[in-house]
Amino acid sequence: MTAQGDTDQRYIQARQDPAVREAIILEHTPLIRYVAGRIAMRLPGHVALDDLWSAGVLGLIDAVDKFDPAKQVQFKTYAEFRIRGAILDELRAMDWVPRSVRRKSSSLEEVYNKLQNQLGRPAEDEEVARELGVDLQELYRLLDEVRGVNLLSLDDQESPLGKLDSETVLKALGKEGEGEDPLVLLGLAELRQQVAHAIEGLPDKEKLVVSLYYYDELTMREIGEVLGYTESRISQMHTKAILRLRARLRDLAGAVT
């Protein structure tokens, strides 16, 4: 039997042997810390990391219990997907985003999309601030305030994008060749080309931030060191990119419904 076959057999054995199951769970607990840590970086300080960790543990256990080696998916890829989903479900249940912040995020998204349609290109910061009737510092403050909202689609549960957070969409685009695509599992494979097109339409710096964060898996601080910006400014670029993407994807989803 090949090494891969031995590995596959181990996951099958875990269904009947509690000791093997526990060993697999312990072996992959660092993955919980990794996923929870990356999500926590985009959340306000009052959201406890312990809550994310607890949800992630449940996601990992669920991954071990439901993993099917016959589907030719790497367990790490599948487990990361289940852990992230469990954490995001917990955040949805907590409903931690104030309605006022959600409204601000929606307003920003609408402005970015309106200006994109009017100008035929991504709007500059000065143009967005002028449309909102604020100065640049206030715009940056707004971006900082709404940066965590786009992890979830709390206001759009009925739309095709409602149960799909932005990070999962972008992460899925980088999973080519690593097994079954999470978008396929969600029944949203038709969005792949649309998402890729929307990313290509981002301003160069924002596109680079997206690439470094989701594909190369650098932290905001590391991206700032690479590009010569503060971590705060990189976070703002990331938020702008997600606002633009969500607006474009919402338009596309609306056009086919």
Residue type, 56: G
Contact (CB, 8 A) for 104 and 60: no
Q: Are residues 28 and 106 in the same domain?
A: no
Per-residue pLDDT tens for 173-213? Answer: 444 444 444 544 444 455 566 777 788 889 999 999 988 88
Say which CATH number the domain at 16 has: 1.10.1740.10
Same-domain pairing of 119 and 233? yes
Q: Nearest-5° angle of CA 101, CA 118, CA 108?
A: 5
pLDDT of 247 above 60: yes
- For 96-139, the pLDDT digits (tens) are 667 788 888 889 999 999 999 999 999 999 999 999 999 999 99
**Per-residue pLDDT band at 252 (split at 50, 70, 90):** low
Per the structure block, which two tokens stand in for 172? Answer: 């899925």
Q: Say how far apart CA 41 and CA 22 lie, in whole Å.
A: 29
Shared domain for 105 and 213, answered yes or no, is yes
Q: Do 124 and 220 fall within a single domain?
A: yes
**Domain ends where: 60, 76, 94?**
94
Evaluate whether 57 touches 32 at the Cβ level (below 8 Å).
Answer: yes
Residue 79: pLDDT over 50: yes
Name the CA radius of gyration of the chain, rounded: 19
Q: What is the pLDDT of residue 114?
A: 93
Same domain, 117 and 189: yes
- Provide the CATH number for the domain around residue 132: 1.20.140
Helix axes 136-146, 231-255, angle to 10 degrees: 70
d(CA 180, CA 81): 11
Its domain, for residue 224, covers: 99-255
Q: How far apart are CA 160 and CA 211, in angstroms?
A: 24
Question: What pLDDT is recorded for position 257?
Answer: 46
pLDDT at 29: 92
Residues 150 and 217 in one domain: yes
Residue 191 has a pLDDT of: 56
Q: Are 89 and 65 part of one and the same domain?
A: yes
3-state secondary structure of 102: helix
Residue 230: pLDDT band (50, 70, 90) is very high
Q: Does 119 share its domain with 244? A: yes
- Residue 257, C-beta contacts closer than 8 angstroms, at least 6 positions apart: 160
Q: Quick one: pLDDT at residue 97?
A: 67
The region of weakest confidence among 30-39, 126-135, 209-218, 219-228 is: 209-218
Number of domains in the chain: 2
More confident residue, 77 or 134: 134
Among 254, 245, 234, 170, smallest CA distance to 201 is for: 245
What is the pTM assigned to this prediction? 0.65
Asked if 227 and 234 count as a contact pair (C-beta separation under 8 A), the reply is yes
Instruction: Give CA–CA dist 81/188, Å, rounded.
Output: 15
Please give the pLDDT value at position 186: 47
**Mean pLDDT for the stretch of residues 80-91:** 86
CA distance 57 to 186: 22
Phi, psi angle pair for 159, to nearest 5°: -85, 165
- Neighbouring C-beta atoms of residue 151, cutoff 10 Å: 21
Q: Are 212 and 226 in contact (CB under 8 A)?
A: yes
